[in-house]
Structure 1
Amino acid sequence: METVKDALFRDAGESGGHRLVDREQGVIAYWGDWWYRGEDTVTAHPQGTLLRHRVYNIARQGNWAPYLANKMFIGYRARLEASLRDRIAQLETQL
């Protein structure tokens, strides 16, 4: 797991205004000004390492509006999964 964590955090930078980088907890989070918060976590798994990406709606008001703004998220999951597969492949080349 440490090898994967090292690769994931290699270019993560430091925490800042819209970003949290917590190497100890294995979390990289980034968010916008309105609704989006994405979190990447890396944890131990019986088969090796689990890399998980989660998307949160953090809108304080109008938390229904992202669905309209993003066309009900049609196709979003497929694009997100493809992006994560690409990211994993890229990490594998660094191991």
Structure 2
Amino acid sequence: MVEVAGVVEAPPERVLAAVARDTGWRRDGDTVWAQGGWWYRGEYLVSPAAGGSRVVHRVFNVARSPVWTVALANRLFIGFRERTRDGVGALLARVGEELGCAARLT
């Protein structure tokens, strides 16, 4: 449904650990994830990148019901992409502050 990416200028293992601490989500390999409610699954994938780590946040609709029911329940997702981007930007800023490095959305 939504994908937002950014860069943190620190090694992937440190970034992954910081994302897991900040979110309180489960960690599995290079992914931090959570399944919430009846439709939501969020994942942060951390991979090596020039100068540090690339962080990709993805939101999936995992509902077994028709897509329109999820859209109605979420007010047609109006503003959802922007709120998600803002939230990921704030997370990256906190991670960068914790690790003492630059972090930004791409």
| TM-score normalised by the chain length of structure 2 | 0.71
C-alpha deviation, 1:47, in angstroms: 4.1
| Structure 1: stretches of 5+ with no match in the other structure | 14-18
Contact 2:16 2:31 in 1 (8 A): no
Q: 1:68 to 1:59 in 2, by over 3 A?
A: same
Q: Which has the higher strand share?
A: 2
SS at match of 1:78: helix
Aligned with 1:31 (options 35, 38, 42): 35
Q: 1:75 to 1:35 in 2, by over 3 A?
A: same
1:91 and 2:102 aligned: no
Tell me: higher relative CO, structure 1 or 2? Use CA pairs within 8 A at least 6 residues apart.
2
| TM-score normalised by the chain length of structure 1 | 0.78
CA distance in 1, matches of 2:75, 2:66: 15
User: Which amino acid in the other structure matches residue 75 of structure 2?
Assistant: K
What corresponds to 1:81 in structure 2? 85
Of all paired residues, the percent bearing the same amino acid is 38
Summarize the alignment of residues 1-95 of structure 1 with structure 2, pairs less than 5 Å apart: 1-10=12-21, 20-22=26-28, 25-95=29-99
Contact 1:35 1:63 in 2 (8 A): no
Report the number of matched residues. Answer: 88
